[in-house]
Amino acid sequence: MKVESVMVTGANRGIGLEFVRQLSRLSEPPKFIFATYRSSDTLKDLKELEESSTKTKIILIKMDVTNPEEREAARNAIEETVKERGLNLLINNAGVSESQLFPHLTCENLELHFRVNTVAPIMVFQTMLPLLERAADQQGSTGALSVFRAAVLNMASLTGSIANAGVIFRRDLVVPAYKMSKAALNMAMRVVATNVKDKGILVINMCPGWVKTAMGTDKAVLEPEESIWTMINTLPTLNESHHGTFVDRKGNPYPY
- pLDDT for 207 equals 93
- pLDDT for 169 equals 55
CB 50 within 8 Å of CB 8: no
Measured in degrees and rounded to the nearest 5, phi and psi for residue 201 equal: -115, 115
- pLDDT for 185 equals 98
Residue 59, classed as helix, strand or coil, is strand
What angle do helix axes 44-52 and 14-24 make, rounded to 10 degrees? 10
CA 101 to chain centroid: 27
Maximum Cα–Cα distance across the chain? 55
| Residues across the chain | 256
- pLDDT for 197 equals 83
Indicate the pTM of the whole model.
0.92
Q: Which residues of the chain have pLDDT under 50?
A: 141-143
